Structures are given as C-alpha cells and as structure tokens.
Amino acid sequence: MNNFPAFIDLKDRKVIIAGGGEEARRKARLYVAAGAHLSIIAPVIDAGLAAEFSEHASERVHMITATPAALDFEGAVIAVIADADEAQAAVYAKWARNAGALVNVVDQPALCDFTTPSIIDRGQVTIAISTDGAAPVLGQQLRAKVEALAPARLGNLAAFAGSFRDAVKATISADQRRSFWTDVFRGPIAHRFLQGDETGAREAMIDAVNRPQAERRDGVVHIVGAGPGDPELLTLKAVRLLQDADVILHDRLVSKEILDFARRDADRIYVGKAKADHAVPQEEIEARLISLAREGKNVVRLKGGDPFVFGRGGEELDALRKAGVAAFVTPGVTAATGCAASAGMALTHRDHSQAVTFVTGHARGEAEPDLNWSALAALEHTLVIYMGVSKASVIAGNLLDAGRRAATPVAIIENGSRPDQRIVKGALADLGALVDGHLIKGPAVLVVGEVAALADDTLCETALQTERLSA
Ligand code: SAH
C-alpha cells in the first residue's frame, strides 16, 4: 500500500478548484456530491461548467473568473489544481499547501498530496479504488465490476442496519454481535430489504433481535436461474448470490464456468437429472434445501435457464414456503430466448409471427407428449419445444396431422450460447430426419414457425459438416 485511504467529511468545508475546463468540471461534480463549499477559479470558465453548476451557484458553488492568487486558497481543506500549464500548476500547489490544504494536481502525481480514487457511491456506503495514480483507467474498469456487484440499495441497507444498532447493542452480547450482523447481511433480512420489502425486513429484524440466541440463525434459499450456458448471460444478481452462498445445489445443465463464480469454499452439490435417470429424486432435493436452510445456511438452488420455465422451480418454492423457509427466486435467460439470440432469429416478428408458445416435448415415462396439437397448429405462430429431441418426429407428425404446412420452417439449436452450439435448419416434414441425420443429442430446442427461416445461415450446419463430425 503506497497511499493510505481515508474518508474525509467535506460537508460545508471549503474546497477550491483552480481551473475552468473539462477536468475541473469532472472534479467539481465529485465535491458537490460530497456537500463541500466549492470555489472554482480560473481566468476562463467554460460555459458548460458554469451552466452545470449554476443552480448551486452562490450558496454552494462560487465561480470566480480571475487568475488565482495566493489569498484565494486560504481556508481550503482541499485544493485541486486543474491548470494545463505545469509551471503555473506548481505555483498554485505551493500556495495551496502553504494555506494548509491537501493538494491534488491533475495528471501530476509527483505534486499530489492525495489522488482521487474511482468512487462507487451508494449513499452511506462508499467504495473507493486507487491505483496510486498509476493507472486510473484500470481503476475505472475495476469500479465498473464492483459497481455491478454492489446492489443499488446498499446505502439504504446500511442506514437500515444503523437504525438497529442501539437495539442490537442492548440485546445481544458483544461476543455474539459480529455473527448476528453477518447473518443479517447474508440472510433473508437483507435480501428482503434489497428487494424493496422494507416493512417485512423491519419486522424480521425486530423478531431476530428479540429471539433467544439459540434460535437466531435463519437460513435462506435462493432459487436462481443460470441461463442457457454462457456465463455472461447470468444476471448480476445471480453472480452476487453465487458469491454469497454457503451451499449450491445445481443441475446437470449448469456449466463449470458458472459454478466458478461461487466462493472457493462453498459446497457444491450435484443433484442433476438426466432424462429417465433421476439422479436425486425431486422430494429429496426439496428436503435437502429445507434442512440446509434450517441449519442456517445460505443456499443457492441453481437451475439451467429460468427456474420457472420447465424447471420445477415452482414445486421447490411451494415446498420451501410450506416448510416456512425464506425463499426467493432470481430469473434467468431461458433456453428459448437464449437460443433465439445466438441464432439471430427473433421469436416474434411483425412480418412473420405475432406470438410464441413454449411447450415441453417430454411426458412422464415413455408416454407421448400430451398437447392440444390442433390448437397449437391452428395458431400458426412460433412454437419453441423444450425437451423434444427424442420425440421430434412424433411431434412433427402431430403438427402435420393437425394441419400445419409440411414446408413450415424449423430450426434446431443444440447447446445454445455455449462454445459447442450447433444450429440446423429445415422444414417441418423433415424434423425427425434432421435430428437423426445431424446427430442431435441435446440439450436442444426445436423452433417451429416462419421465424425459423431467419436463423443466421452462416451459423447453420450443413449435412456435410455433420458427416465430418461423425467420422
Ligand atoms: N429451465 C430451463 C429448461 C429446463 S428443461 C430453461 O428455462 O431453459 C431442459 C431443456 O431445456 C432441454 O431439454 C432443452 O430443450 C432446453 N435447453 C436448456 N439449455 C439449453 C441450451 N443451452 N441449448 C438448447 N436447449 C437448451
């Protein structure tokens, strides 16, 4: 550490900026946000700068069109020198320092008492990143990443916690306080608050403060959508929850790259199900989620795609609610939209299809999918069939019998959004043959309807390529 970070209270204290250009403007924004009394002084002040702070002018921001003099720096806690002339800047820096101010000279680290960090401002929570002035752009990139992980209402959460500080001090012994707060911030109370349920969070907090110590730990289960495979399709919230989890129960379709977002010491439990090979029965998964939460664990139940689209997320949520366990759902990009995006094919399109229906091609046991084929065929819009690979020819036959045209375009997208993605295009009458001929194993979605013709040809596989693949 070359520089020591400290947070300075600038409310109603004098800060001076010597300079009237773009750099001065950027710095002025920061100091105004911190509540300082700001003097901006320069022989020429840009019209843009003047306009931006005009509403604060006179009370908070004082603009002086003049060449700075030594006296102008008197009483300043901080002086920022944003003057392009290096020799001049050095003179101002000296005057400012003599007046007792901490000095920052833009782009001249050697003349600085302090550097300005990249700042993440969440009200009561401020995060500052420094590269000692050596690589500000790197600092900004890092800031963008942290910014993404810090929930928007983090500052409000800190204020909420602050309002309980005295109550916690009065009821919880000093040696227990740290773990109490850890549970609050990682558990259901903070989550409730961040979701916007302030009343629920307050009630839960009062309840937690008043409960005997032995019963105090509350676990939580987050049912989280992992998207179709590309880790970049995770939501920011999914990433944050993964990094917070003690235990992750995941499916077969969740890739390793996604699990890599978890803390290194988090337990990962595979409860995947391949079709007809139910690794862990559903009831057992539910029972496990409940018992882990009751142990006080922060549990993530991670599912491919979206948990509420053919994901049995609804059943798990019901079971958790019945057991009185706090449970929350975070959506994910479902296979249909993920695959459509990577195939360059809209699911609805003003010229081709006014609606889209997601159906499952999978039925219990070996039975055939029990769907209202004539209704589906009559609508003539886009159909996305999940889990339909092994029944592709049966499905096509049913749609044709129900009156859908043999030449209706179809697209098959396997491993959508993953590096091994494959896309095959053709006509409805050939759907079964396309699946067999191209050795489609899944996971894949079958898209039936005019929009399927829009799938990007340059991404589609030809029969010849499949032959090479199988050789
Ligand atoms: N909840 C998931 C669906 C689970 S059912 C979601 O919202 O996406 C499993 C089926 O999803 C697979 O049989 C396949 O039809 C589809 N699927 C999941 N991931 C896929 C992917 N990357 N590419 C194509 N299809 C996928």
What residue owns the CA closest to ligand 1's atom 5?
310
Alpha helices in 22-114 (DSSP H): 22-33, 47-52, 86-98
DSSP string, 323-340: TT--EEEE----HHHHHH
Which residue, judged by its Cα, is nearest atom 6 of ligand 1?
A: 305
Report the C-alpha gap between 99 and 74 in whole angstroms.
5
Amino acid at 381: H
Establish whether the linkage from the previous residue to 212 is cis, with ω within 30° of 0: no
Q: State residue 365's pLDDT score.
A: 65
The answer to whether 282 touches 312, Cβ cutoff 8 Å, is yes
Task: Determine the residue of 386, 435, 441 to mutate for testing ligand 1's pocket, defined as the one with the most ligand atoms within 8 A of the Cβ atom.
Answer: 386
Does residue 107 carry a catalytic annotation? no
Q: How far is the CA of 385 from the centre of ligand 1 (A)?
A: 9
d(CA 400, ligand 1 centre) in Å? 24
Q: How far is the CA of 467 from the centre of ligand 1 (A)?
A: 25
Q: Are 427 and 406 in contact (CB under 8 A)?
A: yes
- What distance in angstroms lies between residue 444's CA and the mean position of ligand 1's atoms? 6
Averages of pLDDT over each 10 residues, the chain, 471 residues:
90 96 94 94 94 81 95 97 91 97 92 91 89 83 85 91 94 86 88 92 92 76 96 93 93 90 90 67 94 93 97 95 95 98 96 95 75 90 96 95 96 96 96 95 95 93 70 65
Name which residue sits closest to atom 24 of ligand 1, judged by CA: 444
Tokens representing 9? 């209270």
Å from CA of 357 to ligand 1 middle: 15
Best residue for ligand 1 mutational test, from 445, 446, 447, 459 (most atoms within 8 Å of Cβ): 445
Whether the Cβ atoms of residue 363 and residue 370 lie closer than 8 Å to each other = yes
Which ligand 1 atom is at minimum distance from the Cα of 416?
Answer: 23
Long-range contacts of residues 204-212, Cβ cutoff 8 Å, at least 24 apart:
205/160, 205/164, 208/180, 208/183, 208/184, 209/164, 209/167, 209/168, 209/171, 209/172, 210/171
Q: Is 181 exposed, middle or buried (0-12, 13-18, 19+ CB in 10 A)?
A: middle
Nearest CA to ligand 1 atom 2: 305
Instruction: Please give the model's pTM, rounded to 2 decimal places.
Output: 0.77
Atom nearest to 362 CA in ligand 1: 13
Q: What pLDDT does 280 receive?
A: 83
In the set 46, 107, 273, 430, the catalytic residue is: 273
Residues 186-215 as b/e (b if ≥16 CB within 10 A, e otherwise) read bbbbbbbbbeeeeeebbebbeebbeeeeee
**Ligand 1 pocket, Cβ-based, cut-off 6 angstroms:** 228-229, 253, 303-306, 309-311, 334-335, 339, 386-387, 413-418, 442-445
- Centre of ligand 1 to C-alpha 375, Å, is 24
Tell whether the torsion through CA atoms of 18, 22, 27 and 32 is positive or negative: positive
Query: What span, in angstroms and rounded, lies between the C-alpha atoms of 441 and 387?
Result: 10
The residue whose CA has the least distance to atom 18 of ligand 1 is 335
Centroid of ligand 1 to alpha carbon of 384 (angstroms): 11
Q: Which pLDDT value is given to residue 58?
A: 67
CA angle 36, 38, 42 (to 5 degrees): 160
- The Å distance, Cα 292 to ligand 1 centre, comes to 27
Own/partner pairs, 131-139, CB within 8 angstroms, 24+ separation: 132/2, 132/3, 133/109, 134/109
Q: Is 244 in the active site?
A: no
Residue of 234, 251, 254, 310 best suited for mutating to test ligand 1, as the one with most atoms within 8 Å of CB: 310
Residue given tokens 């209704």 in the structure block: 375
Q: Which of 251, 297, 303, 425 is catalytic?
A: 251
Please, what is the angle between helix 188-195 and helix 154-162, to 10°? Answer: 120
From atom 11 of ligand 1, which residue's Cα is the shortest distance away?
386
Q: How many angstroms from the chain centroid is the CA of residue 223? A: 15
CA of 465 to the centre of ligand 1 (A): 24
